[in-house]
Structure 1
Amino acid sequence: MARPVIFFLLLLLLSIAWAAAERASYIVHMAKTQMPPRFTEHSHWYDASLRSISDSADLLYTYDTVAHGFSALLTPAEARILARHPGVLSVLPDTPYYLHTTRTPEFLGLDLPAELVPESSTIADVVIGVLDTGVWPERNSFDDNGLGPVPAFWKGECVAAKDFDPTKACNRKLIGARFFSKGYESSMGPIDESHESRSPRDADGHGTHTSTTAAGSAVTNASLLGYAEGTARGMALRARISVYKVCWAGGCFSSDILAAMDAAVNDGCHVLSLSLGGGAADYYRDSVAIGAFNAMEKGVLVSCSAGNAGPGTATLSNLAPWITTVGAGTLDRDFPAYVVLGNGKNYTGVSLYSGKLLPSTPIALVYAGNATNSSNGNLCMPGTLLPEKVAGKVVLCERGINARVQKGMVVKDAGGAGMILANTATNSEELVADAHLLPATLIGEKAGNAVKAYSISDPNPTATIIFGGTKVGVSPSPVVAAFSSRGPNSVTPEILKPDLIAPGVNILAGWTGAVGPTGLPTDSRRVEFNIISGTSMSCPHVSGLAALLKEEHPDWSPAAIKSALMTTAYVKYQNGDGILDVATGQEATPFDLGAGHVDPRKAMDPGLVYDLTAQDYLEFLCALNYTSLQIAAMSKDRNFSCDSRKNYAVSKLNYPSFSVAFATAIASADESASATVTHERTVTNVGSSATYKATATAKVDGGEVKIAVEPAVLSFTETGEKKSYIVKFTAPSLPSGSSGLGRLEWSDGKHTVASAIAFTWT
């Protein structure tokens, strides 16, 4: 009899182990108002709901500020059962998100702080919450000299860990530091503390870079290895910073992000900065969108990066209209490094290399594709180069798959003397600088093709690289970065995204002491500042500028601040030409740059704003035909349902820009047939008495769009006064896929309140 019992026990143990192995983290959204009366605390109800389906399921977090509910480890079967429980709105799988990875203040016109940041009692009472990879607090960018006491409203923490002493790490500038890893560890396993710290400490560098970009203190004589020398500072010099570490070596998980957003809003942050994103999803299934909605309800602006998946269309992350979605542009600063070939031709690239130089006389050049036995050896991936063919030579590599700086290490390990890295069609002529570990430069696609042709056709090709240091005054600037993700909005095409662009290419800001500027394990250099690129870098610029506006206008809502940034953004250079898209070499469209490039000095005094309340966004969700449960999953503190008698429309959302979709007629006897789309808007006067007049323009290939604004004149006699208008867009039927752009401006002679317009035919 013993054998069957033992066999049964083994089966039981195996089934328990199998069930545990199947478990994954889920986020459970609960209807707070439906808590049974026998419970006195929502956390008790959440725990009882979980225990009703499993005694062994692990609870990860409870949420009560930007969400109501909890996250837990569940099997798929348990998740399905729990989803049917009373009071459960939705059960969503934990989702991974990923990071979107000096000169800026002058470029943005912030070199006159007294003009922009007048002394006031509220000046030091704005807090930016940065959700990222943590912080390296031992940096001059977190100097709190000149700041007053930590605001009395602040509820946040600076947590202790074995490598993070809160008494030394936090001060009156860095007032909070926490970490969130339960969701990550439930999916990826325990954190490898030999490579990263299970604390708020930043072993990556990304979080230190973004937080100091947003609100770092001024540091003189800053540079990266001698490049970009000058004073480095964040956008909001006197704002406080609180850091929430949610991103780890394997990504950032939605349960941790939501827990951090919950904490940040409850702590007292006014602005949340998230340089991360996932795939596009319906808003009620997107944890960042859900958290941002409830943060917005509590008066907190959420700024997010647009993503680095450009220049393809419909590649954006963070699409919800209550999120400020930021794309990337360039500065007027560059770091030239010139390729000099033996045939006398010269090509300009970029580099941040600082070390022993190549000979000024060209040395042997080899194309990586001819120095390998691998089918993708041209990409200089690890182990693909033959040392006997590259030793002592400059190697031409092509971009793709592995990191740019890693390609240089591959060349160096194989004995190469230097590297010319060439863009392919994916990146075209966009040049992003790196602090290479050997003499190296990045060149555009056209130059790369020329160097490649020379290296293959010439019997004895030679080359060298001459490094030009730092150059300012580069023109044209800004241009839209090729990597910056583009519209249209794949979830709601009628909402134009991105909202605007900000500097995101070759940005100097603070860095971690854990890794070198390349982030490679072999890079033993340690720097206080680093230069990196991505919409991750443009997002904190806008987060900091939003904090500046909040300092100056503490009563403004998140929508009003966002409107001020958008309607004062510019789309033309001083010579009148439109901002260029580096990916095409042509004028950028609203799907590339949204409302335009941020202009903080004008945003301080926008004249009019397009304001929005939580009620407006709820009606927007009704226009999307969201069910009551889906809306309840978005807005936690409201018992709201759509009114079947009311006419909801996305075109009624009081957004500062316009995305106008026309239907394409499949067949029409009347070729002159046209369609009219009407949008409604309301503007709020935030200036003095004034009369504004409307002008509108449109540019469409193959047709003409007529724009009628009714009324075309708006007069205001007092601050806070609101006026409404409608815009009628009339256009002919054009082939599906056609597009165009336009602009609507209200002007009183002093202010210009501009709205970008994008046209599409579907």
Structure 2
Amino acid sequence: MGNAEKPKIPNIHHHHHHHHSLLHEVIGDEDIAKRARIHSVGKSFNAFAANLLPNEAKRLQERESVVSVFPSTMRKLRTTRSWDFIQMPISVNRDTQRESDVIVGVFDTGIYMDAPSFNDKGFGPPPSKWKGTCHKAANFSGCNNKVIGARAYSFYEKQEVSPIDTEGHGTHTSSTVAGAEVPGASFYDLGKGTARGGVPLARLAIYKVCWDIGCSDIDIMAAFDDALDDGVDMISLSLGGPASSYFKDVMAIGAFHAMKKGIFVSMAAGNDGMMSTVENVAPWTMTVGASGMDRQFRTPFALGNGVNMSGISLNTFKLEKMYPLITGEQASNHRKVPYANAKACDTDTLDEEKVKGKIVLCGGPPMSQDSYLKELGGVGVLISYDVELKTAHSFVIPTSVIDIKQEQQIYKYINSTKNPVARISKSMEVNVTAPFLAGYSSRGPNMVSPTILKPDIVAPGTDILAAYSKYASITGSPLDNRYGVYNIESGTSMATPHVTAAAAYTKTFHPYWTPAAIKSALMTTATQLKIPDQAAALGYGAGQINPTAAVDPGLLYDIIPTDYIRFLCHEGYSGTILQILTDEDIENCSTVGQFGGHDVLNYPSMYVQLEDPNATISATFNRIVTNVGPFDSVYKATVKADEGLNVTVIPSILRFKQLYQRISFQVTVTGKPLGEYGAIRSASLEWVDSVSVHRVRSPIVASIPEEWAVRS
């Protein structure tokens, strides 16, 4: 894929001609050049996709007018009560007209229009700003006044192109953002209540860029080009993939141009659950991690000796009687299968005759034991796992995921009787302490830009009930015969649309705020997660979103496009590249000015990333806040810091006399050496007004990645 210079005449036909000329020059044969080009975009930014040999790509990259050439990658999807949990009930105050004018673009697997969440009853025609379209397809029922646009892309895999959702993921995320209110929704009576999106009156524009094989960069690039021209206000992407450079990351490039047009973009942080795995870290996007709610789904099971226990899962089945209970070892077929063992019920390790009609106790982690056992005729499975689970998943047969202590009790029972039996019951809801950082949610440190703390924020992403597609089974397995219009899923994919909706809600009250201003409002009003694990500070960013508080944040940390250009200069990108990519008249980086301090962005969070565990902590952050509260406001700085970390704020009192007045301040962070790789210390700065109505909080984190130990 390539990013080329912009022709003087912004016409798509001129882009096609220009891109063909570039290809002709590097390939040499005009006919081959024509066949090589896959797709060109030029409505919102200038780029094209083509099939090139390595030497041809190298020659193209060497051209002065070309910003970057990089291979197209395949991105991954980042797979009711949630809105009440974050204090946004159905009765929340809304500007109904403005909410109805908000258009949310969702890049995902498409949409299932027959889900009740997309009913357009009571909706008027689309907003006049809408310029998009609705693709026609044999199996797609078309758009309406709720889902006003639907496009599908498949440049990588030449298949029938339809916006219909055959995976369920896109339907789930779309309804979480803006699904209409549907009373009595449930997943087989689990999670029963009113299903709704955060902005149920908003419109949806669907861009299907993901298929069963993944999400191609070519399709994502084309979708950005269309969406920015169609008139969307927000873009939600529950997809991911790491990148080493912003200009070799099509999602970061597309989001940059969206930001320039005032379009807010939220992206999933990833589901790897480990340190330094956070994805989608461009500072002009909002990177979203996942938190858990105070509701958990547990699956009871009973043993023949009268002992009752429960594990974690989403089990819609109910066994009416006791069934024989056997362990994976007892069911072994005694074959020697490489890298597999019968205790874990790995594929090809069990005897069908021993498994048929029984419940099997298997070792974890939960993988595909349920599918394998169903194929062998098993009626249920208890999966033992040595990691505490707080997230429930669906399985194709009755399943409960248990802990090691429960496993030991079950083994003791099995060894105490000739005929051990068990029964697995349907799941039930229980209350748990929340919010908490989901175990699967990817953490920092940010390995692309070490001055930016990512993720920015977290939102409910665990056990989320939302709309689903009847073209996909509940688990996605061909062995599953359950199909429905609602499902419960977990992941940063589910958290991201919550933030998109919260941003849209904020925009209805402040239609002229920049994407950075909306981001600041969400971050500085977020609910701080009180987690004893220090490492969690690199997973939850500013905390969990509080949409209603974001409407009145008091102060804003705003950022304009020029600031991002200054940031990119600081990151080492050349003025020439920036001029071509951004369409800005930048001769060299010195023309965009300087912003002193540890970092160069007016970011709502502050982050110090060290490389040497023996180095003392020393950093200065220069920040500017804009008053969006009362005309006469006085804010005082309040600092809380871990032992060994000192934070000084000058001035410590900010006095505002008018609306939109801007005042700068400086934060100095010092401290003793962290002492070891992977160590973290954190603090917070909170600006509190004189009547304690506004509390504008910024997280401050100092860390040293464990990866530096390897590099050193």
| Aligned equivalent of 2:102, options 117, 126, 135 | 126
Partner in structure 2 of residue 335 of structure 1: 297
Match for 2:95: what amino acid? Answer: P
Relative distance call for 1:343 and 1:314 in structure 2 (3 A) is farther
Which deviates more from structure 2 when the two are superposed, residues 412-421 or residues 333-342?
333-342
1:720 to 2:677 alignment: no
Q: 1:369: how far off?
A: 7.5
8 Å contact from structure 2 (residues 65, 580) kept in 1 = no
- For 1:327, the aligned partner's letter is G
> Partner of 2:622 in structure 1?
680
Whole-Å Cα distance in 2 between the matches of residues 594 and 72 of structure 1? 38
Give the drift of 1:153.
0.6
CA contact (8 A) 2:118 2:146 kept: yes
Match of 2:15 in 1: 42
Distance 1:694 1:226, change over 3 A: same
**Whole-angstrom CA distance in 2 between matches of 1:665 and 1:696:** 25
Match of 1:618 in 2: 565
Q: Which residue of 2 aligns with 1:30?
A: 4
Give 2:265's aligned amino acid: V
| Alpha-carbon shift at residue 545 of structure 1 (Å) | 1.1
Separation in 2, partners of 1:323, 1:343: 55
Q: 1:642 to 1:463 in 2, by over 3 A?
A: farther
Residue number in structure 2 paired with 1:480: 437
Counterpart residue number, 1:751:
694
Task: Find the counterpart in structure 1 of residue 491 from structure 2.
Answer: 534
1:132 alignment partner AA: D
**Superposed, which structure 2 residues align to 1:140-539 within 5 Å?**
140-164=116-140, 168-182=141-155, 184-185=156-157, 190-191=158-159, 198-310=161-273, 312-342=274-304, 345-359=307-321, 363-367=324-328, 371-372=332-333, 373=335, 374=337, 375-400=340-365, 404=367, 406-424=368-386, 428-444=387-403, 446-447=404-405, 449-450=407-408, 453-454=411-412, 458=416, 460=418, 462=420, 464-467=422-425, 469-471=427-429, 474-539=431-496
Please tell me the residue identity of whatever aligns with 1:364. Answer: L
Q: Deviations over 1:293-324 (max 9, x none)?
A: 111011011100010101x2101110111111
Task: State the Cα RMSD in Å.
Answer: 2.5
Contact 1:595 1:756 in 2 (8 A): yes
Query: Given the alignment, which residue of 499, 503, 515 partners 1:546?
Result: 503
Contact persistence 1:129–1:264 (CA under 8 A): yes
Instruction: Summarize deviations over 1:178-215 as a string: whole Å, max 9, x none.
Output: 01110x22xxxx33xxxxx5211111111111111111
SS of 1:697 mapped into structure 2: strand
The reply on whether 1:109 has 2:87 as its aligned counterpart is yes
For the Cα contact (< 8 Å) 2:15–2:40, is it kept in 1?
Answer: no
Q: Determine if contact 1:709/1:728 at 8 Å carries over to the other structure.
A: yes
The sequence identity of aligned pairs, in percent, is: 39
CA distance in 1, matches of 2:212, 2:90: 39
Per-residue CA distance 1:543-593 (angstroms, 9 max, x = gap): 111111111210111011111111111124xxxxx146xxxxx46632021
- Structure 2 residue 680 is the aligned partner of structure 1 residue 739: yes
1:81 to 59, 67, 86: 59
CA deviations over 1:372-404 (Å, ceiling 9, x no partner): 43433334344332122223322122334xx74
1:114 Cα deviation after fit: 4.1
Letter in 1 for 2:422: T
* Alpha-carbon distance between aligned partners in 2 of 1:36 and 1:565, rounded to the nearest angstrom: 39
Q: Secondary structure at the match of 1:262?
A: helix
Which residue number corresponds to residue 670 of structure 1? none
The unaligned stretches of length 5 or more in structure 1 are 1-26, 192-196, 573-577, 581-585, 668-673
Distance 1:606 1:519, change over 3 A: same
Distance 1:46 1:478, change over 3 A: same
Report the residue type matching 2:224 in the other structure. Answer: M
Deviation of 1:343 after TM superposition, in Å, equals 5.8
Alpha-carbon distance, 1:370 to partner = 5.3
- Classify 1:286/1:42 alpha carbon distance in 2 versus 1 (closer, same or farther; 3 Å): same
Structure 2's unaligned 5+ residue stretches are none
Which residue of the other structure, out of 644, 660, 679, is the alignment partner of 2:608?
A: 660
Change (3 A) 1:467 1:630: farther
Deviates more, 1:367-376 or 1:131-140: 367-376
Distance 1:221 1:63, change over 3 A: same
CA–CA distance in structure 1, aligned partners of residues 419 and 571 of structure 2: 61
1:663 shift after superposition: 6.0
Q: Please state how far the C-alpha of 1:502 moved relative to its aligned partner.
A: 0.7
Show the counterpart of 1:15.
none
Are the structure 2 counterparts of residues 664 and 431 from structure 1 closer, same or farther at C-alpha, using a change threshold of 3 Å?
closer
- After superposition, residues 667-706 of structure 1 pair within 5 angstroms as 674-689=616-631, 690-700=633-643, 704-706=644-646
| CA-CA distance at 1:715 after TM superposition | 1.4
Distance 2:206 2:106 in 1: 5
Number of equivalent positions: 691
In structure 2, the residue matched to 1:590 is: 537
Cα deviation code 1:601-629 (max 9, x no counterpart): 21111111111011111111111122234
* Superposed displacement of residue 36, structure 1: 10
Q: What secondary structure does 2:326 align onto?
A: strand
Higher mean alpha-carbon deviation, 533-542 vs 102-111, is at: 102-111
CA spacing shift, 1:154–1:651, aligned 2, 3 Å: same
> In the alignment, is residue 604 of structure 1 matched against residue 551 of structure 2?
yes
3-state SS of the aligned residue for 2:642?
A: strand
Cα deviation 1:105-136 (Å, max 9, x = unaligned): 21121214342x134x4231111111011111
Give secondary structure in 2 for the equivalent of 1:93: coil
Q: Which amino acid aligns with 1:145?
A: K
> Counterpart of 1:118 in structure 2: which amino acid?
D
Give CA-to-partner distance per residue, 1:67-106, whole Å, 9 cap, x none.
Answer: 3121112222222222233522221111111111111121
2-structure distance, mates of 1:262, 1:369: 58
Quick one: structure 1 residues 336 and 663, their matched pair in 2 at CA, closer, same or farther if it must change by over 3 Å?
closer
Distance in 2 (CA, whole Å) between partners of 1:635 and 1:336 is: 51
Q: Distance in 2 between matches of 1:216 and 1:633?
A: 39
Counterparts in 2 of 1:705 and 1:131: CA distance versus 1, 3 Å: same
- Cα–Cα, structure 1 residues 369 and 209, in superposed 2: closer, same or farther, change >3 Å? farther
